[in-house]
Amino acid sequence: MNHPKQSCFLGVLGGMGPMAGAAFALRLAALTPASVDQQHIPTLLLNDPRIPDRSTARLAGGEDPLPHMLERVRFLNDAGSQLIAIPCNTAHLWYEQIAEAAQCPVLHIIEAVAEDLRRQGIPKGRIGLMGTPATLALGLYQQTLERHGYECIVPTHDEVQSLCAASIAAVKGNRLEDAYAPAAECITRLKARGADAVVLGCTELPLAVPHALRPSLGVPLTDSIDALALAAIAYYERVRSAQRQAA
Amino acid sequence: MNHPKQSCFLGVLGGMGPMAGAAFALRLAALTPASVDQQHIPTLLLNDPRIPDRSTARLAGGEDPLPHMLERVRFLNDAGSQLIAIPCNTAHLWYEQIAEAAQCPVLHIIEAVAEDLRRQGIPKGRIGLMGTPATLALGLYQQTLERHGYECIVPTHDEVQSLCAASIAAVKGNRLEDAYAPAAECITRLKARGADAVVLGCTELPLAVPHALRPSLGVPLTDSIDALALAAIAYYERVRSAQRQAA
């Protein structure tokens, strides 16, 4: 069932977690060049937290989230989405299967982060990684960033648990006041080991480290929510520009 | 076409404006008592900025937004919504028509604000109003708050334009840095005229006045985004509690 008048350009497979899905929609609006409502990107956010935990599935044999994600991608396509964004890094462990099943292009959050590093004037160098245990253990960022010529610095197993996962769990549990300290400690340690930039490679981490506090950390950060939003805006502008030229 | 497994409890008719729609989803997640993703409210946000401007329609003969809103309410119902929230105060000028057409309950943002005043320990008194020209000129808040026993203090016509509308336009135009000063000036003037509390009665205004700066303004504020989110959470908890008792 397609609703021509309601069909939204961008479908967002959110809810992983719900605050990250909503923050993506907010940053998308904030980063879009627009002076009135009607210039913004029509967006449908399926912010559904019932998708089984991605890290648990890959590292501890939990329920497979893929069928849940594919069902929701079908819903977004049925509603008319012409582009899909998934504001969850760990979900990109299933990117190939999702992109194959989708009836429209699906943005890749890790490629969006690589593009954001170049946008920030960091075309090469050592990149410190932060993310969920599954994202880091399964090399999701390492594979892509190394292909783009970067060298990766990964926190130790203990740091992933006590700093990254602790900060992420605090955001998911609505304890933002407990989320900043472990994230900032991890950024500081990665910087001390030579990182030229640090990736907030889980969509909860940008919520743990507010924009206003970032300059004080003394190392460039790339924020996977903002990177994905900027990729969606760039794609939308290319489509609109092509439509104007064809008209 | 109903998708039983994807159907979300809460449908959100957003996009009026898009930053307010996204901020509602974010505050909904932030205010929900939850320790893991799966405890949050499954939400479908239709953040579609193509709905014609509500103030222009009511005050200057612009295109009628009602057919656009009704079409999107049908979409949210078709997708399985069991409750609808509309994070736009001015849109509530059409509340009766929307509620009549919807196939599920529709929260009323002004009633949610009245409930929030009581929640904050303000059961009566003088309430300063801020909102769009249409919301204030057509008495949307005045009717409801006076029925609940409050007295309303409304900015002058010039203040509505130079303070309220200016702040709202800055948010809609992604110039948050220009939005705070006129909003804060209006709050200060309403307080000086005896307001016991001030309503941020347009969903752009909570974005103009960040939570961290509110205590310094010296008067209780009620935030129509947070009030609507708290009403949705309370409704969801009542339904869940009734389901547990029936089981």
CB proximity B8 to A under 8 Å: yes
Cβ contact A77:A102 at 8 Å: yes
Cβ contact A66:A84 at 8 Å: no
Least confident of A65-79, A173-187, B3-17: B3-17
Both structure tokens of A215: 């300059």
Name the β-bridge partners of A64: none
Total beta-carbon pairs less than 8 A apart between chain A and chain B: 168
CB proximity B29 to A under 8 Å: yes
- pLDDT score at B127: 98
- Among 3.40.140.10, 3.10.20.310, 3.40.50.2300, 3.40.50.1860, name the CATH number for the domain at B109-223: 3.40.50.1860
- pLDDT score at B233: 97
Residue A1 has pLDDT above 70, yes or no: no
Place B37 in a pLDDT band, splitting at 50, 70 and 90.
Answer: confident
Q: Alpha-carbon distance B127 to A237, whole Å?
A: 44
Kindly report, residue by residue over B120-160, the tens digit of the pLDDT.
Answer: 999 999 999 999 999 999 999 999 999 999 999 999 999 99
Residue A22 is nearest to which of B5, B29, B42, comparing CB atoms?
A: B29
Q: Alpha-carbon distance B142 to A233, whole Å?
A: 40
Q: Alpha-carbon distance B206 to B202, whole Å?
A: 8
Q: Alpha-carbon distance B37 to B35, whole Å?
A: 7
> Residue B163 has what DSSP assignment?
I
- Among 3.40.50.2000, 2.40.30.10, 2.60.40.1120, 3.40.50.1860, name the CATH number for the domain at B10-108+227-246: 3.40.50.1860
Kindly report, residue by residue over B93-106, the tens digit of the pLDDT.
Answer: 999 999 999 999 99
Distance from CA of A52 to the nearest CA of B (A): 8
* Omega before A17 within 30 of 0, i.e. cis: yes
- pLDDT score at A55: 87
Q: What percent of chain B has pLDDT over 90?
A: 87
Q: Alpha-carbon distance B237 to B126, whole Å?
A: 31
**Mean pLDDT along residues A167-185:** 94
Domain ranges of chain B: 10-108+227-246, 109-223
Residue B49 is nearest to which of A22, A30, A37, comparing CB atoms?
A: A37
Cβ contacts (< 8 Å) between A43 and chain B: which residues? 15, 18, 45, 47-48
CB proximity B189 to A under 8 Å: no
Buried b or exposed e, range A146-169, using 16+ CB within 10 angstroms: eebebebbbbeeebbeebbbbbbb
Q: Do domains B10-108+227-246 and B109-223 have the same CATH topology?
A: yes
Angle at alpha carbon of residue B39, lines to A57 and A137, rounded to 5°? 25
Residue B4 has pLDDT above 60, yes or no: no
Q: B224-246 and B18-31 helices cross at what angle (nearest 10)?
A: 50
User: pTM, whole model, 2 decimals?
Assistant: 0.94
